[in-house]
Amino acid sequence: MRRGSTVQLALFALVAGGLGVLIAVLPNWLPEPASREAGRIHFVFWFVTGICLFIFAIVAAVLAYSVWKFRRPPDDDSDGPPIHGHTGLEITWTAIPFVLVTAITIVSAIVLAKDDAAGANPLRVDVVAQQFAWSFYYPSYANKRSAILMLPVNRSVVLRMTSKDVIHSFWVPEFSQKQDLVPGIHPTLHITPDRIGTYPVVCTELCGAGHGLMRSQAKVVSAAAFAKWAKGGPQQQAAASGPALFTSNGCNACHTLAAAGAHAKIGPDLDKLQAEAARAGKPLPAFVRESIVSPNAYVEKGFPKGVMPKNFGTILAKQQLSTLVQFLVASAKKGTK
């Protein structure tokens, strides 16, 4: 290869490499991190991605340049020049990847170790998943139960996972970590939220018909606001309104109920409860209560048995169950007027 074309090739490759990296890095592909772990994970992601993009762009540019520069006319049937190896080149393209891969290994190992360290005095939260809702319990605060994940900013948190039925997966995009919830085992996840705000909690494991609606919120608040909320006691929950209970227990993931703004069609339409109670041959309030506590006692025609979780009788406090039954009965009566 002539000296001039080698210089041309090198320049073309470097410019293409730089442009490729810019195009890939400039758009905001990832959500803004909201935890220290996420910040470190993003650093590793861009460290590795940057290296890969640069190498890819150089290789692709050299290839494209060679195809164009060294092409032969269609009637040229002569052999190409004999090629011998180039020791210098071979040492270079072995040594550079070795250094890069070693660097990636070291950076990843440091980040993994740091993300896995829970820090001193972490806050423990028990994350409970069931078809199709999340619940969060705070053992250090009288096992307070919440439908949203309240977290104090800048404090290390250990999330302990429990699934009551099938495999779910916990994911907050802004925290950058996912953890499967497998029945029978209790994995943990360490998070240190460092940005106040509200972020989505998403189930990322196909867990049944209501999977797409199995969502909650993670709310990162100041330490003072968290303490105030945590000491608010369980009566807040018990005193929750019918629509709030309906949503926080995930009923809206499967059922339609105009009074709660729910439009899901996995389970029976709860605006038609009166007709359903008539078909079941039971008075409305008793029918509603039974359908929540033992859902398989009567299953509306056209809906499969065993889809509705059987444990609402134990999850809901007595007063919550009564509130929910009253709310459903009242809205069913309103619906038919």
- Binding interface with ligand CUA (CB under 6 A): 129, 132, 168, 203, 205-207, 211, 214
For β-strands 149-152 and 177-181, DSSP reports them as unpaired
* SS3 at position 186: coil
119 Ramachandran zone, left/alpha/beta (phi>0; psi -120 to 50): left
- Residue 284 tokens read as 């409305």
Nearer to ligand CUA by Cβ, of 110 and 206: the residue is 206
Closest to ligand CUA by CB, 34 or 129:
129
Is the CB of 44 or the CB of 209 nearer to ligand CUA? 209
Smallest distance, Å, CB 257 to ligand CUA? Answer: 21
Which one, 206 or 286, has the nearer CB to ligand CUA? 206
Distance of closest approach, residue 62 Cβ to ligand CUA, in angstroms: 45
CB of 240 to ligand CUA, least distance (A): 22
Bridge partners of 199, per DSSP, are 218
SS3 92: helix
Q: In angstroms, give the least distance from the CB of 165 to ligand CUA.
A: 9
Exposure string (b/e) for 255-289, b if CB count within 10 Å is 16 or more? bbbebbebebebbbbbbebeebbeebebebeebbb
Distance CA 244, CA 259 (A): 11
Question: Closest separation between CB of residue 27 and ligand CUA, Å?
Answer: 29
Contact 160, 179 (CB under 8 A): no
How far, in Å, CA of 133 to CA of 216, rounded?
A: 8
Q: Least distance to ligand CUA from the beta carbon of 23, Å?
A: 34
Query: Tokens 């439009």 sit at which residue?
Result: 263
Q: Please state the closest distance from residue 203 (CB atom) to ligand CUA, in A.
A: 3
For ligand CUA, give the closer residue by CB, 203 or 220: 203
Tokens encoding 248: 């926080």
Classify 163 as helix, strand or coil.
strand
Q: Which is nearer to ligand CUA, 197 or 304 (CB)?
A: 304
Q: At what angle do helices 284-293 and 318-336 cross, to 10 degrees?
A: 130
Task: Return the number of the residue (132 or 287) whose C-beta is nearest ligand CUA.
Answer: 132
